[in-house]
Amino acid sequence: MFGPLAFTKTYAMAAAAGLSITLVPVLMGYWIRGKIPDEHREPIWIWI
């Protein structure tokens, strides 16, 4: 009775792990463009 549920959960977690290792870094490379600002120039960091 719980066999199909276990297989579905396992396949879903394996697919999510595979996508997080392969697809997400590629998409972040496309989405984050330009110069990343220095963290010491952020207003919150200066206030802290």
Nearest to 4 by CA among 16, 19, 12, 15: 12
Predicted pLDDT of residue 23? 93
Predicted pLDDT of residue 13? 97
> 39 near 45, Cβ under 8 Å?
yes
Q: Which residues contact 27 (CB under 8 A, 6 or more apart)?
A: none
The average pLDDT across 19-43 equals 84
User: What distance in Å separates the CA atoms of residue 12 and residue 6, rounded to the nearest whole number?
Assistant: 10
Question: Regarding predicted confidence, which is higher, 3 or 12?
Answer: 12
The average pLDDT across 19-48 equals 82
Q: Is a pLDDT exceeding 90 seen at residue 5?
A: yes
User: What distance in Å separates the CA atoms of residue 28 and residue 31, rounded to the nearest whole number?
Assistant: 5
Q: What is the pTM assigned to this prediction? A: 0.57
